[in-house]
Structure formats: C-alpha cells, structure tokens
C-alpha cells in the first residue's frame, strides 16, 4: 500500500541558517534526508539556507560546479556530492571546499537527461526479441530511481509500449513500496544514448515528408497529423526531454490536443493529493500503474479508384516507412483497488480521422461512464465526440480487436514492511 504524507520543506532564514547556497541552471537534483526517509526534491528550488551540521546531497550525471561571487570556482568530477554545513564553511568528504557561508552558486557542469539502462528482467508481455529499457538514475546507498520503463524493439527501431507510475503528488512525500510494476526491475546494464548509434525520425523530417505522400491520394491530408512523443503529460515531457525522438509517434492532431489531453488531465487529477475529482473520496490521491502503447496501422477508406483500403504508411521518413497507428492505448491498473469502481481497464484512442464512430460498439463495450474519476470530467463529456478524437474504455476481456497488445502484468505481491526508499517531492 502506498501512503502519502504531506510535508512542508522549510529552509528557514535567520540565526540558524549559516550556509547560503544558490542553485543555477542546469540545476542539480537535490536530495534531503528526513529521519529514515530520503526526499528527492524536484527542480523548483533556487536557494538553500542550511543550518549547522545539516547535509544536502546534489546529483548531476555531468558533474557539479561550485562558483563563488569572488570568481573562484570548483568542479566536482562525480555524479553525486554530499555537502555538510559547519560554522566555518561547507565541507565535502571532510574537506573544506567553501570558507564563506554566502555568495555560493551550485549548478550541473553541463545540461543532462536521465540515463538509459537495460533491465535483466523483462516487462511482462515484452517479447524476447525486444529490450526492457529503463530511464532513471542511481544514487549512492539508495535504491535506483526509475522514471520510465520501455519495451523497445531495437532491430525495428520501434517502441512497443512504456510503463510508469502515475503520479507522485505535488507538495507531498510519497513513500514508495514495491507494488508497482517498475519496482521489480533494476538498472542493470548501462546503455547511455541510443541516438548516437541509431537514427530516429525527427519532427522536421516528418514535416518535410508528410506532404509528399502522393501515393496515398486525395483522401490523405497531412495537416491532420503531427509527430510528437507518445508521452504527453507536461511533467514527463520535461523530465524525459532527451528521449523525445525515440518516443515519438504519428498522432491524429485533434486527438492529441483533444480527448487524449482530457484523459491525461483526469488521470493527473485522480492521482493528485486531494483527488481533484469532486466528492469521490475513495479515489482521491489514488496511484495507478500505467502502460501506454500503439496498435495496428490506420487505413484510408475505400476510394472510387480503389476497391480496397490502404494502410497509412508514410514513406521515406529517414531510412524506412513511418506507420500511423490505428489505436493509441493506455492500460490502467489501480494500485488501491476499489469494490465499486473498475480497477483495471484500457483506454483506447482511435488515431484516424477516418474511423467510423458507428463501429465503436463492435470494438468493445464502452465503460468510461462506470469510472467516476473519468465520467465526471471533461473527458467523460467529450470522449465520443469525433472532433476531439474518439476514445473509449474497454474491459480487459474485450480487447480482441486491439492488435499487438501485451499480456496483462502478473499480479504483484502485496507490499512488505516499509523500508527507506527514495521519495519524490514534486
């Protein structure tokens, strides 16, 4: 079970604050221990005022730079540094590195993105010919921090699906237990950047080529599509900015900015502290294991000059064709099951302007109205309106028409006694 603890981080100025540190861009990841717990403080702080004998840990994969307003500078050629505030300055590993207790600026030596690793254990449903990749970072004497799991077919340069925990609350501490999917995986093998060795289509290449698809005929309108990351949550986009090309797919423009955004807003509200979904206390502050992926290839309708539908494959994007997915789906599993609300279902977005809404009932029985944290939102009102992109909610046993859908994750063990683990503060 996940428990949420509200907390105020108070770095109080005054007689007790003797070490004044300013954070500059690119900002390091800041970690602070509170008793038996370690908070990973997200990148909102610009100033830290530390008391005597207080320690704060900074993490930067590119190294840590410390500069004084006197012009003095120091570069720490390590990814992590724990700084101790004393009456006579700031220490690193029993060595004084800052004498004066103000006018100090700390930043990463260069900009960075989170690092890519491979796990020795696969995500459930990730085939043997695909890799289970993790985006995250390692911290000394602490468990790995994992932001995103990916099932990736490196041979075909094709993303199959991603997995993540939705979401850590704002202005609260989230005690992490072992009941979500990524907790069972480790950052086993360092991969680094795949973009150095493999070529991924870019937005500019997509825009250049999309209007040259003469083979698709007059029914194809390139202005209806765009090339963007599969992850559309604003916070995830910021954290995983270095992997945008690797995660990008062809979106139906109206869907991405319409009902898919509405669905993400509903998910974020349901997972936030306080819920943000009216009076339904049962789901306020809920947590969800979420997988997002694509299925099939969209098709053009039958034209007068052709007696068969044609797949929407954009040719000569880089070195290969780029498919327009028929569906974009999100597999949602509640980590705090309810007896009255469906706890596991799949949101299916139809990624084609040619999808016939009259065929929706044959795809699956729509259960969006049975999920209060969805039905009582803008998504619940508009999810079947074609101008916003048609989206429906399916039970797990009604996915026969969803091709390439991975097997459902195996039931995870009940959480054991709490241990000291990283907790995220957003």
Q: What is the pLDDT of residue 227?
A: 93
Task: State the pLDDT at residue 309.
Answer: 67
Of 3, 127, 1, which is closest to residue 413 (Cα–Cα)?
Answer: 1
Count structural domains, the chain: 2
Q: Are residues 304 and 157 in the same domain?
A: yes
Residue that is last in its domain, among 108, 136, 163? 108
**pLDDT value of residue 168:** 59
Residue 423 falls inside a structural domain: no
The secondary structure of 285-319 as a DSSP string is T--EEEEEEEES--EEPPPTT-SS-EE-EEEEETT
HSE of 159, CA atoms in CB hemisphere, 13 A? 29
User: DSSP assignment of 315-338, as one string?
Assistant: EEETTEEEE--SEEEEEEEESS--
- Compute φ and ψ for 164, nearest 5 degrees: -155, 165
The pTM of the whole model exceeds 0.85: no
Q: Which domain holds residue 18?
A: 3-108
Q: Residue 218: what pLDDT? A: 61
The CATH code of the domain that includes 262 is: 3.40.570
Which of 44, 77, 108 represents a domain boundary (last residue)? Answer: 108
Regarding whether 155 and 51 lie in a shared domain, the answer is no
DSSP string, 102-162: SSEEEEESS---PEEEE-SSPPTT--TTSEEEEEEEEETTEEEEEEEEEEEETTTTEEEEE
Same structural domain, 218 and 333 = yes
Same-domain check for residues 77 and 140:
no
Q: Give the per-residue pLDDT at 308.
A: 58
In this prediction, residue 321 carries a pLDDT of: 80
The answer to whether residue 425 sits within a structural domain is: no
Whether 424 maps to a domain, the answer reads no
Q: Are residues 67 and 100 in the same domain?
A: yes
Does residue 97 sit in the same domain as residue 142? no
Query: Are 83 and 191 in a shared domain?
Result: no
Does 136 lie in the same domain as 77? no
CATH number of the domain that residue 56 is part of: 2.60.40
Is residue 203 one of the residues assigned to a domain? yes
Sign of CA dihedral 66, 36, 45, 287: positive
The verdict on residue 201 lying in a domain is yes
Q: Is residue 419 part of a domain?
A: no
Structure tokens at 301: 């309708």
Closest Cα partner for 210 from 227, 198, 229?
A: 227
- From 53, 88, 108, the end of a domain falls on 108
Pair (129, 28) in one structural domain: no
Report the alpha-carbon distance of residue 285 to residue 223 in Å, rounded. 39
Tens of pLDDT along the chain (426 residues) come to: 444 333 333 343 344 558 899 999 988 888 888 777 777 776 568 888 899 999 999 988 889 999 987 778 899 998 889 999 998 889 998 898 887 777 889 999 988 777 899 999 999 999 888 999 999 888 777 778 888 999 999 888 889 999 999 875 443 343 455 578 898 899 999 987 787 777 788 888 888 777 776 666 566 777 889 999 999 998 888 888 888 888 999 999 999 999 999 999 999 998 874 343 333 434 445 789 999 999 999 988 766 555 556 888 887 655 678 889 999 999 999 988 877 778 899 999 999 998 888 888 889 999 999 999 999 999 999 999 999 999 999 999 999 989 889 865 544 443 333 344 444 443
């Amino acid at each position: 079970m996940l428990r949420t603890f509200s907390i105020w981080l108070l770095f109080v100025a005054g007689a007790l604050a003797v070490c004044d540190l300013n954070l500059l861009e690119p900002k390091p990841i800041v970690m602070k221990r509170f008793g038996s717990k370690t908070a990973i403080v997200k990148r909102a702080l610009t100033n830290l005022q530390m008391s005597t004998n207080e320690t704060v840990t900074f993490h930067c994969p590119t190294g840590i730079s410390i500069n004084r307003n006197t012009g003095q500078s120091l570069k720490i050629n390590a990814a992590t540094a724990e700084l101790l505030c004393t009456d006579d300055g700031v220490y690193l590993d029993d060595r004084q590195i800052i004498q004066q207790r103000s006018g100090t600026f700390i930043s990463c030596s260069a900009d960075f993105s989170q690092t890519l690793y491979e796990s020795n254990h696969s995500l459930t449903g990730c085939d043997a010919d695909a890799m289970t990749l993790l985006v995250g970072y390692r911290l000394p004497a602490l468990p790995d921090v994992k932001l995103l799991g990916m099932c990736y077919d490196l041979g075909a340069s094709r993303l199959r699906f991603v997995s993540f925990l939705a979401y850590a609350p704002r202005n609260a501490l989230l005690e992490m237990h072992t009941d979500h999917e990524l907790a069972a995986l480790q950052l086993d093998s360092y991969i680094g950047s795949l973009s150095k060795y493999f070529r991924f289509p870019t937005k500019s290449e997509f825009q250049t080529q999309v209007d040259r698809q003469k083979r698709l005929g007059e029914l194809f309108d390139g202005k209806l599509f765009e090339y963007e990351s599969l992850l559309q949550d604003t916070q995830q986009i910021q954290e995983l900015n270095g992997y945008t090309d690797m995660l990008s797919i062809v979106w139906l423009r109206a869907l991405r900015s319409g009902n898919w955004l509405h669905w993400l807003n509903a998910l974020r509200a349901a997972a936030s502290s306080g819920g943000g979904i009216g009076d339904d206390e049962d789901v306020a502050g809920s947590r969800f294991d979420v997988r997002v992926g694509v299925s099939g290839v969209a098709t053009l309708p039958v034209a007068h000059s052709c007696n068969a539908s044609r797949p929407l494959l954009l040719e000569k994007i880089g070195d290969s064709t780029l498919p327009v997915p028929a569906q974009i789906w999100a597999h949602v599993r509640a980590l705090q099951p309810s007896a009255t609300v469906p706890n596991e279902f799949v949101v299916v977005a139809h990624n084609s302007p040619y999808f016939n809404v009259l065929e929706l009932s044959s795809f699956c029985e729509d259960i969006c109205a049975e999920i209060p944290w969805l039905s009582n939102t803008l998504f619940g009102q508009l999810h079947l309106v074609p101008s916003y992109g048609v989206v429906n909610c399916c039970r797990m046993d009604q996915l026969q028409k969803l091709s390439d859908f991975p097997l459902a994750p195996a039931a995870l063990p009940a959480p054991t006694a709490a241990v000291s683990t990283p907790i995220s503060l957003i």
